[in-house]
Amino acid sequence: MRGKNVTLVAQGGRISGSWHLCSGMRGRFATTAWIASRQHGRVAWRQLVAAGIDRHTIARWLVDGRLRAVHEGVYAVGHVAPSLDGDYMAAVLASGEGAVLSHRAAAYKLDLLRGPPPRSETTVPTTAHRRRPGIVIHRVRVLPVLDTTTVDRIRITTVSRVLLDLARTTPRTHLTRLCHEAWVHHRTTPPMVEACIARNPHKPGAAKLRRALGTDVTLSVLEDAFLELLATQDLPKPRTNIDQHGDKVDCRWPRLNLTIELVTFRYHATRQGFETDVARRRRSGHLAYSYGDITERGARTAAELRPLLRPYDDSACAPS
């Protein structure tokens, strides 16, 4: 069977390598399947045309079910089984050249948000008006290359750009938590965020984001319970979830050089792993307390902490 070599295109960029496109129907669908295999089962009309597949063949495949439309000009190949990555990939393909997953959808994909997956949101470097049902499309004049990356073959905004995109509309406490998750999962630092702000000087929310980066936050019921215990025992409040020598620590009294970590069995696979982590933290010079230490043995814990915190100047707790 005669054929030709073609270079295939994904999301506006080249797919690694090329494909030998056969002239027969079976060979052309194999080409389509190969493109889709690189894109979570989704393929765009423009990609098929670039691969030499004519519009009549595409129309025939839509009729016989080999292609199933998910957005205008974007198809699932062979089936429409639920797939979050497939949905997000399809949204990027449908939004046009240069589009990337962004905002809350990007935050979810980057593990900054928990809960049900947000609907698809994309950012496109164009001022042209474009609507796609089921997709929130943000149009910008310029999308700096340094603000984009690829995760699981989906083009997406970077962590710093996600924080900046969400800063204006996200409540302060939630934004602070997003900044913490960005550090935990991606080691995103304030200088990285500042660099993103500098690339996008007219984006709203920059001042709010800067404040969130330096704000204390509690991230669990256990941390809230510990602060409540300190308050009821008239003990000074610590800084919470701040940077200490490149690591985030749960509770910190800077003037005393005292750090306390709060650990729960929930985040350890076994009881032994939990106990080992507590012991390790104690050996590192940090005090470590468990859920039982706070909720069941709170008086004893407070008595242990009282002499350690007595010399502490409460005013030193205020964030600088």
244, 154: one domain: no
Q: Give yes or no: residues 208 and 91 share one domain.
A: yes
Q: How many domains does the chain have?
A: 3
Quote the domain boundaries for residue 21. 3-77
Instruction: Indicate if 96 and 150 belong to the same structural domain.
Output: yes
CATH code of 274's domain: 3.40.960.10
The verdict on 95 and 171 lying in the same domain is yes
Domain boundary (213, 230, 259) is at: 213
Q: What percentage of residues in the chain have a pLDDT greater than 70?
A: 82
Q: Residues 91, 47: one domain?
A: no
Burial class (CB in 10 A: 0-12, 13-18, 19+), 11: buried
What is the C-alpha separation between 276 and 278, in angstroms, rounded?
A: 5
> 171, 187, 213: which is the final residue of a domain?
213
pLDDT over 90 percentage in the chain: 64
Are 186 and 228 in the same domain?
Answer: no
Quote the CA–CA distance of 188 and 193 in Å, as a whole number.
7
Q: What is the pLDDT of residue 265?
A: 64
Do residues 95 and 205 both lie within one domain?
yes
Q: Identify whether residues 236 and 313 lie together within a single domain.
A: yes
The reply to whether the predicted model has a pTM over 0.85 is no
Reply yes or no on whether the pLDDT at 20 is more than 60.
no
251 with 157, same domain? no
Q: Are residues 242 and 125 in the same domain?
A: no
Asked whether 24 and 57 are in contact (CB, 8 A), the reply is: no
Please report the pLDDT score of residue 75 as a whole number.
97
Q: What is the per-residue pLDDT for 14? A: 41
189 and 100 together in one domain = yes
Per residue in 237-291, pLDDT tens? 999 988 777 677 889 998 888 999 888 766 555 666 666 666 656 555 678 898 8
Of the residues 20, 43, 77, the one at which a domain ends: 77
Instruction: Render pLDDT for 98-153 as a digit per residue (tens, 0 to 9).
Output: 999 999 999 999 999 999 999 999 999 988 877 899 999 999 999 999 999 999 99
CA distance linking residue 87 with residue 70, whole number of Å: 8
For 32-56, the pLDDT digits (tens) are 999 999 999 999 999 999 999 999 9
Domain identity same for 65 and 90 = no
